[in-house]
A = this chain, B = another copy of it.
């Protein structure tokens, strides 16, 4: 089964998710700098979610680039990932509106990031299984320590929210920084592979 239409559909959904979050940036009540000030938490949470969705698109791009074909399970694992990504705008709005200082919006944000990470891992495992243990992807992904650290961080962040929501947010930013660099493993392996042929 061909991967092109899966890529096109995922691109479409992710493009919409990353863009509709801006609809929450409502026109301020006044026309001076004072009117903009109360918007900074909404804007800050928009930036964080934009980066997160951007990271997912980047990694999704790299992962699908490394494979040759897909199957029915992959289609649904991908749909599952898109579902959890589609919930990001909702938790982003709640997080921004709560000014980062309330426990539950921070916890729910972390929970949705966690579900995204799990959904991504499931997709990765199914793709490795489909491509075979000796495939380019299997080799590039390796032990997937970045994915495992992320999931551990999200769990910690959710627990830490009861101590300080700012600790949780610091962990979310830390994980984003860790992923900011696209998965060089796949990139490097692809480059090596092309040199060998």
- Give residues in A with beta carbon < 8 Å to B: 1-2, 5-9, 11-20, 22-23, 25, 27-28, 31-33, 35-36, 47, 50, 54, 57-58, 61, 65, 71-72, 75-76, 79, 82-83, 86-87, 89-90, 93-94, 97-98, 102-105, 108, 180-182, 184, 187, 190
Contacts and interface: CB of A to CB of B under 8 A. Distances in A.
Contacts of A180: 76
A5 B2 contact: no
A127 to B, nearest CB: 16
Number of copies: 4
Given A19-B16, A102-B31, A182-B75, A36 B108 contact: yes
Contact of A31 (B20, B58, B105): B105
Contacts of A181: 72
A72 B32 contact: no
A190 B69 CA distance: 14
B104 A33 contact: yes
Contact of A22 (B14, B35, B54, B87): B87
Contact of A2 (B2, B13, B22, B65): B65
Interface centre among A22, A23, A35, A76 (most CB of B within 10 A): A22
10 contacts: A8-B11, A13-B18, A18-B82, A19-B20, A22-B89, A25-B87, A32-B102, A54-B76, A57-B79, A58-B79
A20 B16 contact: yes
